[in-house]
Amino acid sequence: MALKIEKTFTVQEPIERVWALLSDPRKVATCVPGAQITEQVDEKTYKGAIKVKVGPSVTDYTGEVQIVHLDAQNHEIEILGKGQDVRGRGSASMKLTGNLRALPDGGTEVASVSEINVVGILAQMGSRVITEVSNIMFGEFVKNFQAKLQQPSDAPDGQATAAEAAPVNATKLAWEAAKGLFHGKS
């Protein structure tokens, strides 16, 4: 199941500071609910894991994250992530393109395009559910991302991931997804 999700959000931080965070997969990973980077393979490649819970279905992906394109001058980054569920319940891949733009007020606009492909048990939930789950995860990500930006830059990271890597709350996710399906009628 292929999905394309385009999201734009703004943060009240200067572009270089945002870029420093966005261009470091180890740091970005700590903002993704349920995700963690476990190992750096080379300059551009990392090993990682992400746990996604939708209702009764838990999917535990492990795989690789690779920086395909990094342009510090134009503040552009393209990341390719690929993973397989540890119990063979399916696979997922994501191509994320991120783009920063400095705003006149000193803030930064983050524009992202994610192309997600999910195969397996999770994909049976249908694009309606998966899109909602992605939206919720993205919302959590933005919150974490903003919180991270507000931390002093010398705060310890990396190893803090374990605590933050708890998966998204399944019940909440399912509820949000259900609400999304009914377009807020509930």
Binding site for other proteins (CB under 8 A): 1-2, 84-91, 117-121, 123-127
Min CB(124)–other proteins separation in Å = 5
| Other Cβ atoms within 10 Å of 26 Cβ, number | 15
Which is nearer to other proteins, 59 or 108 (by Cβ)? Answer: 59
Min CB(181)–other proteins separation in Å = 10
Min CB(121)–other proteins separation in Å = 5
Separation between Cα atoms, residue 89 and residue 84, nearest integer Å: 8
Separation between Cα atoms, residue 70 and residue 76, nearest integer Å: 6
Min CB(175)–other proteins separation in Å = 15
Q: In whole angstroms, how far apart are CA 151 and each of 27, 63, 91, 147?
A: 12, 28, 34, 7
Which is nearer to other proteins, 3 or 113 (by Cβ)? Answer: 3
Separation between Cα atoms, residue 25 and residue 41, nearest integer Å: 12
Min CB(100)–other proteins separation in Å = 32
| Other Cβ atoms within 10 Å of 42 Cβ, number | 7
Which is nearer to other proteins, 38 or 124 (by Cβ)? Answer: 124
Which is nearer to other proteins, 70 or 178 (by Cβ)? Answer: 178
Which is nearer to other proteins, 1 or 160 (by Cβ)? Answer: 1
